[in-house]
Amino acid sequence: MPATCVVGMQWGDEGKGKIVDLMSEGCDLVVRYQGGANAGHSVVIGEQSYAMHQIPSGILREGVTCVIASGVVLDPEELEAEVAGLVEKGIDLDGRLWISDRAHVVMPYHKTLDRLREAALGDAKIGTTARGIGPCYADKYNRSGLRVADLVKPAGAADRIRRAVAVKNAEIVNLHGSEPLDADAVVEQFLAYAEWLRPRACDTAVRINDALDAGRHVFFEGAQGSLLDIDFGTYPFVTSSNASAAGLAAGAGVSPRRVDRFIGVAKAYTSRVGAGPCPTELKDAVGDRIRERGREYGTTTGRPRRTGWFDAVSVRQSVRIGHIDELAVTLIDVLTGFETLNVCVAYNLDGARVEHLPADAEALDRCRPVYETLPGWQEELGGITSFDDLPAAARDYVTLIEERVGAPVRTVSVGPERGQTIRR
């Protein structure tokens, strides 16, 4: 059976949750391999909406086992609430959720420091979600982090937590002038989480590779998007993990040679949350219209997203880095009603034509989009089930995206529900 990876092509919020939910039918395992509770993958089934932050979107498919792999930074507090919310909506998680014992744990001091450090940056702030993701990854690479394996050990966890709180309190108090955390309260809270995590913690790399060896169908789910990748994104306005397809191998403990198919998910336009360059951003009534039609407000934070025309330059980079086999274009229905539509096919940087994403964020901020303009369409698309039945202008728009980013579009989403999806 094939192994498949779904990864975002833009700055996150592309609709990966819906695509994973749709394509994970019949899968055996769905694996989240990086990021943390800063992700917000939304799925709509009938009248019910679901928002997954750490649990893979495949949990909504009966019989699918979900894995939170070692590349994820795990927030037990958020995970407990997420599980409770799914159970309340009738989703049975019994025996269907496994958590890597190598995953690093997001602690209260990570969230506190995330907020304090961001505030200290002033106008140069990154736009973090303040979920503690960056500080947790920093501890991971500084070799001072607390992993699930450390938390669930019968002995020693309390002492490790107290030592970590003491170190972090020194920065919280002395550098930022804020109130220290209560180490005893943190110990009590996280030892309680350990009881819940212990029966679910395991070596997920072994389980994933065993499943692949047995010919089972494994689905890998990326979080955030390729343009937020710590190495290939718009640094420093990025997340703290490899959010491109390149992050799969290290995050899941699986060789990339075992993945048969990479699916990139891209919106039919551009959106971005937080600070950082966004060459096609529309700070006008057109951008406001896209935001309202697309309900462009963060699933995790509720923040309004910045919106703009489709940027083929940046998506082309994501396609090449991930060697993407096919694209799923989402939210094309949002573009109904515009007389004309623009697609950015190059940048003008200080008078020169540029067809790749500059590494320098300041240079990218100076880039001005070079557009190709197409006629729009007026028909609502939500009820259309065949690509050939889309308005000619919508088909031409999809074709131009294919040509400019270098990957075929095999899936087109025309609405939020499962059934509002066209497969070519």
pLDDT of 51 higher than 80: no
Helices 133-141 + 108-121 axis angle, to 10 = 110
- Segment 212-229 shows an average pLDDT of 95
Q: How many domains does the chain have?
A: 3
Are 73 and 120 in the same domain? no
Predicted confidence band of residue 4 (pLDDT cuts 50, 70, 90): very high
Nearest to 180 by CA among 95, 99, 112: 112
Q: What is the pLDDT, as a whole number, of residue 52?
A: 76
342 vs 246, more confident: 342
85-100 pLDDT per residue, tens: 888 888 888 889 999 9
Q: What is the CATH number of the domain that holds 159?
A: 1.10.300.10
282 vs 298, more confident: 282
Q: Which of 262, 294, 312 is the last residue of a domain?
A: 262
Nearest to 228 by CA among 380, 35, 390: 35
Are 275 and 393 in the same domain? yes
- Segment 398-407 shows an average pLDDT of 98
Q: What is the pLDDT, as a whole number, of residue 60?
A: 85
What Å distances lie between residue 27 and 34, 218, 350, 352, 387, CA to CA? 20, 6, 49, 48, 25
Q: What is the pLDDT, as a whole number, of residue 386?
A: 96
Q: What is the distance of C-alpha 404 from the center of its chain?
A: 24
Are 92 and 179 in the same domain? no
Spatial distance between the Cα atoms of 249 and 202, rounded to a whole number of angstroms: 18
Q: Show which residues are catalytic.
A: 13, 41
- Segment 282-310 shows an average pLDDT of 89
List, in order, residues 6 or more apart from 3 with CB less than 8 Å away.
Answer: 212, 217, 218, 219, 220, 254, 258, 259, 260, 261
Are 183 and 304 in the same domain? no
194-204 pLDDT per residue, tens: 999 999 999 99
Are 255 and 149 in the same domain? no
- Segment 68-81 shows an average pLDDT of 95
Are 175 and 208 in the same domain? no
Q: Which of 157, 177, 197 is the last residue of a domain?
A: 197
- Segment 26-49 shows an average pLDDT of 81
Are 122 and 79 in the same domain? no
- Segment 336-341 shows an average pLDDT of 97
271 vs 45, more confident: 271
- Segment 343-364 shows an average pLDDT of 96
Q: What is the CATH number of the domain that holds 240?
A: 3.40.440.10
Are 214 and 329 in the same domain? no
Q: Which of 156, 174, 197 is the last residue of a domain?
A: 197
Are 413 and 288 in the same domain? yes
Q: What is the pLDDT, as a whole number, of residue 46?
A: 66
8 Å CB contact between 281 and 272: yes
Spatial distance between the Cα atoms of 137 and 115, rounded to a whole number of angstroms: 15
Predicted confidence band of residue 125 (pLDDT cuts 50, 70, 90): confident
What domain range is 316 assigned to?
266-423
Q: What is the CATH number of the domain that holds 345?
A: 3.90.170.10
Are 237 and 329 in the same domain? no
Relative to beta strand 352-354, strand 326-330 is unpaired
pLDDT of 299 higher than 70: no
Average model confidence (pLDDT) across the chain: 93
pLDDT of 23 higher than 80: yes
Are 338 and 209 in the same domain? no
Are 273 and 300 in the same domain? yes
Nearest 5°: phi and psi at 411?
A: -135, 135
